Structure 1
Amino acid sequence: MDVELGWNIALILFFVAMLAGFVDALAGGGGLIVIPVMMLMGFPVLNVLATNKLQGSIGTLTSSLTMMRRGVINYRELRLPAFMSFLGACLGTALIQMIDPSVLDFLIPIVLLAIGLYFLLTPSAGQTEKAARMSRRPFEMGVVPAIGFYDGFFGPGTGSFFSLANITLRGMHIVKASGAARLFNFASNVASVLVFVIGGQVLWLAGAVMICGQIIGSVAGSLVAVRHGSRLIRPLIVLVCFAMVIRFLLQRFWA
């Protein structure tokens, strides 16, 4: 399915995607910006989710490559967990076709609030490399695909979940944790996009416009993340998590 876009709508989508790409590269949660705007424009829900995944996957790819070139991401070390994220998202996207995701309406705001409070009340989180609390193999084979599954099944907050897991369980510095989160999120996004493309849900014209904005925003956000590190990443994670909690509550009680 595709729709005609006037220049004004296309321009809005371009700048919305650029902002989402910038935020996503730093803290995750770009979908929090894209999805409400597209819904307000009257796009059908499934088309919104599919197109958001398409442009988001390009954004996470761009930020991953930028951080890889800057030495933040070591692809050789992360390719296995990235693949496990892909597999988890495939299963999640398949399952969402059969189960109502509203079962997570109560759980997800609580988890997001906990993540936001953790980064808010623990200023030292991710400031330095620390000893891992979980060995590499259980993390890569268990935690990463579980978060990937969540991304395929539901989605909001995936980047923040990956960042938190990298910091708390693997002891990563927040910049390295954010970089790894982008790569894992790219893998899970690709899995979802493939399923949505097969289902014919992607709005290709809108997606093409948004991809252009995403690339610009993702490159800018990645460079800012590398340069300024936790000074921006930690506050943005807190802000994104709290914003998503508010959005969930508004949808639940005032929709």
Structure 2
Amino acid sequence: MEYLLFLVIGIIGNIIGTLVGGGGLITLPTMMLMGVPVHSAIGANKVSNMVSAFSSFYSIYRRKELVWAEMRAVLLVSLIGGTCGGLFASFMSSQALTLTAILLLGFALVMSFMGGADFGNRERFVMNRKNGTILFGVGIYDGMFGPGSSTLALYTYAHEKIAYIKAVGLSRIGVFAMCSGAAITYIATGKIEWSLTLILMLGSVIGAQIGIVLARKVKAKQVKLLLRIVTIVLIVQLVYDFIHQL
């Protein structure tokens, strides 16, 4: 019964995570409520996200909706950003990390109502100094803390007027890169409960593939509404965590 629940939360979390980010809001709290040690829960989440994110963007790449040049740029920036974030995290308190997350997500939410954060029809993403810096910052944030990093990346692509399905693919590449370093670290330090992780991974891959199918069917207005809802839920959860850390 426990493994069935892990399978289900992996599926649901990655459907939402693929569409608009924030899937960790479902997987992490559920595992911790079931008594999974925090390091094992985070490790399982990182490993499963790494695998499911790879399956997501590969599905899009296989249909030639992404090209290697744009994938390579996002992969490199996200990997470096995530690594730097992991190093910075050791110098910051949990309260500072949580407050940073609240401010970043709050800013993204406000900007979405001010216009400009609408997915467009651009079929090619070109990294420049502005969006590259933002994505590097998202990578640092993910390495330091994590919740909402995929959501922040999607806002960035929306401001660039990238087509939604391409934005999903690029955000999943970022998740893959950002989670890889953390996943390797958790594996190397022996903090992975493999039976739990493999079940969650299976659910995550299934959820990611369902998410890709749904991403091709949803309309721009529906995506924008769902993105805002998930952002608000993330902010509320983080504010709650911040108050309890005081």
**Structure 2 length-normalised TM:** 0.89
**Mapping 1:8-23, distance limit 5 Å:** 8-23=1-16
Distance of 1:10 and 1:240 partners within structure 2:
26
Which stretches in structure 1 are left out of the alignment for 5+ residues?
A: 1-7
Partner of 1:227, secondary structure, is: coil
Q: 2:25 aligns with which of 18, 22, 32?
A: 32
Distance of 2:124 and 2:58 partners within structure 1:
27
* 1:82 maps to 2:70: no
Q: Which residue identity lines up with residue 175 of structure 1 in the other structure?
A: I
Q: Which residue identity lines up with residue 41 of structure 1 in the other structure?
A: M
1:164 is aligned to: 155
Q: Which residue identity lines up with residue 143 of structure 1 in the other structure?
A: I
**Mapping 1:96-245, distance limit 5 Å:** 96-120=89-113, 122=115, 125-129=118-122, 136-139=127-130, 141-168=132-159, 170-245=160-235
Kept in 2, the 8 Å contact 1:60–1:185? The answer is yes
**Mapping 1:2-13, distance limit 5 Å:** 8-13=1-6
**Mapping 1:43-82, distance limit 5 Å:** 43-82=36-75
Deviates more, 1:17-26 or 1:86-95: 86-95
- C-alpha displacement of 1:60: 1.0
Partner of 2:217, secondary structure, is: helix
Q: Which residue identity lines up with residue 161 of structure 1 in the other structure?
A: L
2:88 is aligned to: 95
Distance of 2:113 and 2:161 partners within structure 1:
18
Deviates more, 1:148-157 or 1:192-201: 192-201
- C-alpha displacement of 1:254: 5.6
**Structure 1 length-normalised TM:** 0.86
Q: Which residue identity lines up with residue 197 of structure 1 in the other structure?
A: I
Cα separation, partners in 2 of 1:124 and 1:30, compared to 1, 3 Å: closer
1:4 is aligned to: none
Cα separation, partners in 2 of 1:121 and 1:12, compared to 1, 3 Å: farther
- 1:174-231 deviation line (CA, Å, top 9, x unaligned): 3322221111111111121112222222221111001111111100101111232424
Kept in 2, the 8 Å contact 1:117–1:238? The answer is no
4+ runs of 1 displaced by more than 4 Å? none
Deviates more, 1:219-228 or 1:63-72: 63-72
Distance of 1:229 and 1:187 partners within structure 2:
28
Deviates more, 1:159-168 or 1:13-22: 159-168
Q: Which residue identity lines up with residue 133 of structure 2 in the other structure?
A: G
Q: Which residue identity lines up with residue 194 of structure 1 in the other structure?
A: I
* Percent pairwise identity: 21
Aligned-residue CA RMSD (Å): 2.4
